[in-house]
Structure 1
């Protein structure tokens, strides 16, 4: 009985999330949670019951806004992928990676379809968004003498350079966006499923986080590519340098966070200290050097021996 009422509640929540997409400002926030309801429904129901819940929701959403059904179909795929992982009791890391890859693959597929069949020009779209964003600042600096000294004058070349830089960072942004959606879904789905009696593996404690040491070699290669890309006109080389190194920086920040949690655990620090270190790492990105050293050298073993 509890499961049935819970399924109905999440079906209503799913419908409300789909309807919220009609409001652009609200949809930017709610889209992060759109994978969650369908994931919970698929994880807790058999296929027949799942379809009995999903189909009426899609029909109601279609009657209210026809465009919402496209987003519903778009986000149902990562929901099925992550729900399948929960049914198979896959590890939390595998669920996150699989969900991220599913969302990322869909992003790339939509971009490919839009480019080939609808002549969608992403570079032109990005440039127009940048011009629209900077237009109020330009007008303020032009029409107000007091503001003219405070507002940077953006020339047409400056806007084109910013547009090109943004285009180069789009793969990085897509990966981070896909990963964040998978993290939000898993962070909420796991405790909810556990309360419903479905055992879902959780991530290892932060103190046990240890990324592959091969990332050091990838970083070394990335730095070399970045060095040669600075004076190069090879777009592919620049694209790799613009995305590989920043992505590895995030990995090293995660490794640094794991190191400080390990250190706090072994040295019996107050629990608030590693949390404060997380804030420091996020605010001071060069702190990622700790993560690099933790992968390159046995810092954790050294800390353990020094304690003895």
Structure 2
């Protein structure tokens, strides 16, 4: 086995990450849970991979049996991304595969929870928000500075509905962030192990398909037609489509800024500084729309001549 000791180290890291689920660090370590299994699956054959992962699952099962289910949840996208790395697929293809795998599991859990266990997501969200508002009320009763904080039952119900409406966007972003973090860390690790995998295109080459403009126009129309509804499937689509597209256009804007800096031969620090307000502040994503609709990059090239 070429990477025997390295593989053992990654198995131990995998075990420690799973055990961290019982600590306050779980909010952070969950983002990195896919990484060890991806490295092991990519660099080992199937038999070796099983020999490394099975003891980890047995130890976790003996300590906390329910964690085996969580381990399996993260193991599936690990196998998917590892399979793509084995095929030397493009970086974007691998990230997309990981995103789809994680998102598919999220949706499957919601489906099974609601149909088999009769889990009511709205009731759960409402109870959590009600508990939080009750805590704020209690805190306000004991603190004169917080006596003005009052949240009515109607407001709690409204916040519950709004939370439910944006859950699809939250799940998509969570899956995307997890896949991107995994690739960002796994790729240099695999390269250091002499297992080269494709990298993402440089930021200056990031470009969306022109069809995204039509998607945005569709989102605007849906928002105008169904934005005032109190509930419904179309409301959920309109509440999630536009924010997701705005995030996509932010990525397009960052790509344009890196392209501009590259063409002007400025330092990359300038591009990073310009990207910060695009990420943090609203409105700058419009540059991405303009870049997609009009040949801005060609104009930049012409102006340089």
Does TM, normalized by the shorter one, top 0.5? Answer: yes
In 2, Cα distance between equivalents of 1:21 and 1:244: 32
Task: Name whichever of 14-23 and 100-109 sits farther off.
Answer: 14-23
Deviation of 1:2 after TM superposition, in Å, equals: 6.4
Q: Is 2:163 the partner of 1:172? A: no
| Contact 1:22 1:68 (8 Å CA) reproduced | no
For structure 2, the 5+ residue unaligned runs are none
Q: Is 2:236 the partner of 1:223? A: no
Cα-Cα RMSD:
1.2
Instruction: Report the equivalent of 1:115.
Output: 114
For structure 1, the 5+ residue unaligned runs are none
Using the size of structure 1 for normalisation, the TM-score is 0.96
Deviation of 1:190 after TM superposition, in Å, equals: 0.2
Counterparts in 2 of 1:125-164, with a 5 A limit?
125-149=124-148, 151=149, 153-164=150-161
| Contact 1:93 1:203 (8 Å CA) reproduced | yes
In 1, Cα distance between equivalents of 2:5 and 2:207: 41
| Contact 2:227 2:239 (8 Å CA) reproduced | no
Instruction: Report the equivalent of 1:299.
Output: 296
Deviation of 1:58 after TM superposition, in Å, equals: 0.5
SS of the equivalent of 2:182 reads helix
SS of the equivalent of 2:257 reads helix
Using the size of structure 2 for normalisation, the TM-score is 0.97
In 2, Cα distance between equivalents of 1:34 and 1:107: 15
* 1:193-249 Cα distance to aligned partner (Å, 9 max, x none): 000000110000000011101000000010010011133355111101101000000
Instruction: Report the equivalent of 1:260.
Output: 257
In 1, Cα distance between equivalents of 2:132 and 2:222: 32
Aligned length: 305
Counterparts in 2 of 1:27-42, with a 5 A limit?
27-42=26-41
In 1, Cα distance between equivalents of 2:81 and 2:144: 56
Instruction: Report the equivalent of 2:16.
Output: 16
Structure 1 residues 268 and 204, CA gap change in structure 2 (3 angstroms): same
Task: Name whichever of 251-260 and 117-126 sits farther off.
Answer: 117-126
Q: Which runs of 4+ in 1 moved over 6 A?
A: none
SS of the equivalent of 2:66 reads helix
In 2, Cα distance between equivalents of 1:62 and 1:234: 42
